[in-house]
Structures are given as structure tokens and as C-alpha cells.
Amino acid sequence: MKFLRTRWLEVTALLVVGAAVVRGVTVAADVTQGDVQRIMYVHVPAAWLAFLAFGVTVVGSVAWLRSGKPHWDRLAASSAEIGVVFTGLAIVAGMIWARPVWGQFWTWEPRLVTTALLFFIYLGYLALRRAVIDPVERARRSAIMGIVAFIQIPIVYQSVNWWRSLHQTSSRNSIDAPLRVTLWLAVLAFTFAYAVMLRRRLELSLLEAALELRQLEGSQAVAGAAVVAPSLEKAGHHG
């Protein structure tokens, strides 16, 4: 019972993901694309989760710039990392679908190119976080980048409408009800999976922040109080 109380989110996520997978492989096949269309039930939710994750990064970035509270910075960073993972997975699943449908894994068409750009922009965001040692400056710079980078999301989303694209437009309203229900179930399942990942990643961020603070205190004990490194935890509002 204690396990269920503490791990209810993980258990729920596992059950919903399991149900979505079973539904995804057993629902009627698409009339025109056949069974290969089932890849949509993992490809679309992965892409949706990437958008959601980067949206949460924007919220965390804006909130940190306004309040300077360290947990917003941790939320932005944690969500961005998960977003990068989901973007990568969405690209790979899309490539597997493209091979039988388009005849090749990759083609330089707008949706694929803008999504690849999105992936590398947020990889850059994660690299920026590793490159800046000062935690206050790191939070400030990455908050700005987290907000600016989000511009890429509507570009990716609209790329199939703005340019002549090989990639199909949104399937949300053009597919039959059983397929649509399966797609929404998969989106729900992936959202639960995101919640599990975010909780774990935030737990890690908290530990990393504590570690950084303890190391700072340790170095002060050796070098004296005159040597003070900036601390996000101690800084409060950065002004």
C-alpha cells in the first residue's frame, strides 16, 4: 500500500502507457496506409510531449526572470532535457515511418528540417547550462534562451501549412473516431510518462543544487569567507 501511495504516478503512467500500446497495435488498420500508420500512435504523442516540455521551459524561464526563485530555473532546465529526449524520439519514429512511405528515412523537407533545428536549438540550451559556472548568470542566460528558443515551436507546427511540405498536415480531425480515440489515449499516456520523468528530473535538480551549495560551502571553509562564489539558492532575487 505504501508503494502505491508513493509511486501512484508511476503505476498510473505504466497502466495508461500499456493500455495505449495495446490499443495502438489492435485498433483497425488505416485504410490507405495499412499497419505502418500505427507508428503515428507513438510519433505524434512524442512530438506533442516535446512541445509541452518546451512550453513548460518557457513558463519556468519567465517565472524565474520575474521572481528569481530557484525552483523555476530547475523546472525550466528539467523540462528542456525531457523535451530534447522526446524530440529525438519523435524524429527517429518519423524516420522509421518515412522509410516505407516515402522510400527514404530522411528528406530535406520543411517539417523535418525545422524539427531537427528545434532539437539542436534545445541541445544548445542544455550546452549553455553546462558552460556557465555562475548559477545566477546560468539561470539568467538560459531563461532568456528558453524564451527565445520557443519561437521555433510555432514554426515547426506551421511548417506543413506555410511551405510546400511532403509531411502530411494534422491528422487530428481527418481520421476516423476509433483511430482518433487511440491517438488521444496515446497522448494522455505520454503526458503521464512526461509527468513521471519531470518529477524524477526535478528530484535530481534539487540534489544537484544541494551538492553545488555544499561544495561552495566547502570551498569557503578552505579559502575563507572572502572567496564567495555566486549561489542561486543564496541569491534569492537577482534584482
Interacting residues toward another protein by CB under 8 A: 17, 21, 24-25, 31-39, 42-43, 46, 82, 85, 88-89, 92-93, 96-97, 99-103, 166, 193, 196-197, 200-201, 203-204, 207-208, 210-211, 214-215, 218
CA proximity to 103, closest of 36, 175, 25? 36
Q: Provide, rounded to whole angstroms, the least separation between the CB of residue 225 and another protein.
A: 17
User: Which residues face 34 on adjacent strands?
Assistant: 30
58/209 with CB nearer another protein: 209
| Pairwise CA distance, residues 168 & 141, whole Å | 36
| Pairwise CA distance, residues 152 & 134, whole Å | 27
The Cβ of residue 214 has, within 10 Å, a number of other Cβ atoms equal to 10
Q: Provide, rounded to whole angstroms, the least separation between the CB of residue 112 and another protein.
A: 15
Q: Is 231 helix (H, G, I), strand (E, B) or coil?
A: coil
12/33 with CB nearer another protein: 33
181/207 with CB nearer another protein: 207
161/174 with CB nearer another protein: 174
16/140 with CB nearer another protein: 16
Tell me, what DSSP letter sits at residue 30?
B
Q: Provide, rounded to whole angstroms, the least separation between the CB of residue 67 and another protein.
A: 25
| Pairwise CA distance, residues 107 & 97, whole Å | 12
Q: Are 168 and 160 in contact (CB under 8 A)?
A: yes
Q: Provide, rounded to whole angstroms, the least separation between the CB of residue 98 and another protein.
A: 10
Q: Provide, rounded to whole angstroms, the least separation between the CB of residue 33 and another protein.
A: 4
